[in-house]
Structures are given as C-alpha cells and as structure tokens.
Amino acid sequence: MLKAKYLGCAVSMAAALFTSVSYADIKFSGYGSLVAGKTLGTVDDPLNPGQTRDETFTADFYDVGQYTNDLTFNAESMIALQATTSLGEKLDFTAQLVAKGTDDFSPEFDWYYLTYKPSEQWTILAGRRNIPMYYFSEFSEVGFAYPWMRPPSNLYWWQVTQFNGVSAIYDFTMGDYASNVMVFYGNEYSYDNKEMKYYDRLYGGNARSVDEFWKDILGFNWNVSGDNFDVRLVYFTNDRDRTTVNDDGTSTDSPHFTQEFLGFGGSVNFDPITVLFDWNLVKYDDVYGTEFPTYLVSLVYNVDKFQPYISYSKADHKRTKVPTEDLEEHYLLSYGVRYNFYPSAALKVQYDNFVDQGDKPTGWAYHGDSRAISIGVDFIF
C-alpha cells in the first residue's frame, strides 16, 4: 500500500502545499532524489547487426536519462526548490526551480503559475505546469510520493510533458466520495526537444534541433476518491507539428496531425496490499491510424517501514489503416523495496528488466533488451 501519508505528500506537492518554511511572505519547499545505477551486461546492437554494445536502460525518456554499464548518478538525480507567495486575497504565485543531472545540474524554472480561488469549490490556475496525462503526472518527479524508483519509463515516455495554459478545478462531493473535475487548455512549443533529437542521432541523423509543437491542448480530468481508493479519468486532444532543423540550416516539417489521449488510473488499498494501475491510449489521425496502447499494474506490500513491490508495464505501437503488425513493442518488469528510514526521506533499491519485443528486421527493436539496478534516496524539505 502506498500509505495515506505518502499519497498525502503527493497531493500536497502537486498543489504546492508541502510543509514549508516561511521567509517574509514567501513559503519555500522542495524535493529531490540522489540515485545511482547501471546496467548489467551487453546486448546485440539492434541497429548494427553483428555488433554488440552495453545494455542501455532509459529511466527517463523525456530527459534522456539513461544507464549503461558505467555507474552514474546523473540519469535521475535532481533537486527542486519551490516558492509560493501571496499576491493578495485568494491569489498566489508559485515558481519551481529544478536542477537535473541530465542537464549537468543547470537550474531551470519548469513551473510558474498563478492560483486564484474565487470560492471553496473553485480553483483557477494560469501559467506553466505539467500536462495531467497520467495518474502520477503532476508529481512524477517527486520520488518520495510513490513506492518505485520512478514511474515506469515505458509508460511515461512522451516527448512533451508540460504546457503553458489555464486550468479550472471544481471540487465537490458525491455521497461519501470526494471528487473534482479539471478542465485545461494550453500550448507547448518545445524547441530543441531533447528526446526527439536523441532519436534523430540514434538513427544516424545530424539534426541541429528537433522542435516539437503541441497546440490547442484541450481536455479534462475527473478524480474520485474514497476511504480505500483513488481513481482518475483523463482525456485531451491537441494538434501536433514537428520541425527538424538540419545540419545545413534547412528545415523539414513532419506531417501535421491531431492526437487524442485517453487514460484511466488509480490506486486501491486491500490492506496490507495496494494495487496501483494506469491504462492509456494515444491515437493519431495520421495516414497510418497510429495508436499507442500502454498499461501498468503494480502491487505494493506494506510492512512497518518497508514497502516491497513489483510492477509490470507494457507499451505497444499499432497502425490501424495499413496492414502492419510488428512495430515498436516492449515490456518492463521491475522489483524493488522502499525503506522509510526518516519521515521526510526514503531509501529505494530497484531491479529493472526491459524486454524489447519490437520487429528487428524493420528496425523497430531500437531500444534493445536491458537489465538495470539502481539505488537512491528520495526526500522532501
């Protein structure tokens, strides 16, 4: 079970309400992770037949945080500082500064938004935040908020995770259940997208940058929680454009299309076991009828300060308008344990087995199999 106090911490971070220290009219809080890991062997190179290479495990697709056979702290270690100040009655401003090992710990403001509460039921947010794509999206980097080392990377693998926009949240009750509905709208212009540039180089390209544009992101979340469960339904749609800036300065535009995202996830407590799950379907209206179905199931056993767990996540790639069966496909099986050795810090150890089931002859098995071990400490302050 992801105990109530850890779920509480997750919700608090998402709402910028962690226990904090005040200086003048500014409240400071933060979180971080110090994680070391490595892969455990070699594998046939899927893009260079007849050759081998180190296993490469991608722990973070968005930031291209990867483990190879060389031990590293940079793939997932990070620290974030959040500041919230009141601008007047019912109006707050929040900003979050993040430094990640994948960026050589160069600090960057990744969240900044206004919060306006015209009533107890309504909350209006305006600014930059995470897109509420998955059950754990709004606190996916707050390692202290969940039992695993990270949410499964082959589920949380999209090249865009944030947006600039507005959200309206309405809180209400349905009998004994707490509920809220969020409607959101915005855009994201991701220049020099790190993940897309990585894939360009992986296939032998030499692009200066790959720019990813998600426009007119429009959707809603509906969250319902009770004594032993918390579930969330999400749907959104957006237009997607991509421009590749070539090495010679010319640019190439990828075909425009609209994508739809549908998801259902949550947690259910059968004390002392908690079931965590997430199911998602992404659909493109492109010429192929592209679809990406993904899902996660995880069991967590709660005993004193320990939370041993197992998780399985599966990702697939389908084309419904052309007779193509075997494309990208993989699953990730993870085992680990969390030890809550301090009220605001947890030690985690995790083993990951990533199995690439993509079609090798057509180049869709480009990830390759990998086994990785990681150990780290997640904390809040």
Q: Check whether 156 has a pLDDT greater than 90.
A: no
Quick: pLDDT tens for 220-270.
Answer: 999 999 999 999 999 999 999 999 999 998 999 999 999 999 999 999 999
Instruction: Write down the pLDDT at residue 266.
Output: 97
Tokens of 122: 């309504």
Q: Check whether 3 has a pLDDT greater than 50.
A: no
Going by their DSSP bridges, the two strands 52-54 and 42-44 should be labelled as: antiparallel
Q: What Å distances lie between residue 7 and 104, 228, 270, 275, CA to CA?
A: 30, 12, 15, 13
Count other Cβ atoms within 10 Å, centred on residue 98. Answer: 21
Quick: pLDDT tens for 308-317.
Answer: 999 999 999 9
Quick: pLDDT tens for 183-219.
Answer: 999 999 999 999 999 999 888 889 999 999 999 999 9
CA distance 243 to 236: 23
| Full 3-state SS string of the chain | CCCHHHHHHHHHHHCCCCCCEEECCEEEEEEEEEEEEEECCEEECCCCCCCEEECCEEEECCCCEEECCCCECCCCCEEEEEEEEEEECCEEEEEEEEEEHHHCCCCEEEEEEEEECCCCCEEEEEEEEECCCCCCHHHCCCHHHCCCCCCCCCCCCCCCCEEEEEEEEEEEEECCEEEEEEEEEEEEEECCCHHHHHHHHHCCCCCCEEEEEEEEEEEEEEEEECCCEEEEEEEEEEEEEEEEECCCCCEEECCCEEEEEEEEEEEEEECCEEEEEEEEEEEECCCCCEEEEEEEEEEEECECCEEEEEEEEEEECEECCCCECCCCEEEEEEEEEEEEEECCEEEEEEEEEEEECCCCCCCCCCCCCEEEEEEEEEEEC
Q: Check whether 326 has a pLDDT greater than 90.
A: no
pLDDT band at 8 (very low <50, low <70, confident <90, very high): very low
CA distance 148 to 334: 9
Question: First CA to last CA across the chain, in angstroms?
Answer: 23
Q: Check whether 12 has a pLDDT greater than 80.
A: no
Q: Do 110 and 98 form a contact (C-beta atoms < 8 A)?
A: yes
Instruction: Write down the pLDDT at residue 4.
Output: 42
What mean pLDDT comes out for the span 72-99?
96
CA distance 268 to 166: 30
* Tally of CA atoms within 13 A in the half-sphere of 45 that contains its CB: 10
pLDDT band at 359 (very low <50, low <70, confident <90, very high): confident
CA distance 115 to 126: 7
For residues 360 and 380, the model is more confident at 380
Nearest to 231 by CA among 264, 263, 182, 274: 264
Q: Do 74 and 102 form a contact (C-beta atoms < 8 A)?
A: yes
For residues 167 and 48, the model is more confident at 167
| Angle at CA of residue 144, ends 104 and 70, nearest 5° | 40
Q: What is the mean pLDDT of the chain?
A: 92
pLDDT band at 24 (very low <50, low <70, confident <90, very high): low
Q: Check whether 18 has a pLDDT greater than 50.
A: no
Q: Check whether 347 has a pLDDT greater than 70.
A: yes
Nearest to 162 by CA among 124, 134, 197, 128: 128
Tokens of 95: 């900003």
Instruction: Write down the pLDDT at residue 49.
Output: 85
CA distance 244 to 247: 9
Quick: pLDDT tens for 259-309.
Answer: 999 999 999 999 999 999 999 999 999 999 999 999 999 999 999 999 999
Q: Check whether 365 has a pLDDT greater than 50.
A: yes
> Does the pTM of the predicted model rise above 0.85?
yes
Tell me the percentage of the chain whose pLDDT exceeds 70.
93
Considering all CA atoms of the chain, what is the largest pairwise distance in Å, rounded to the nearest integer? 67
Instruction: Write down the pLDDT at residue 22.
Output: 46
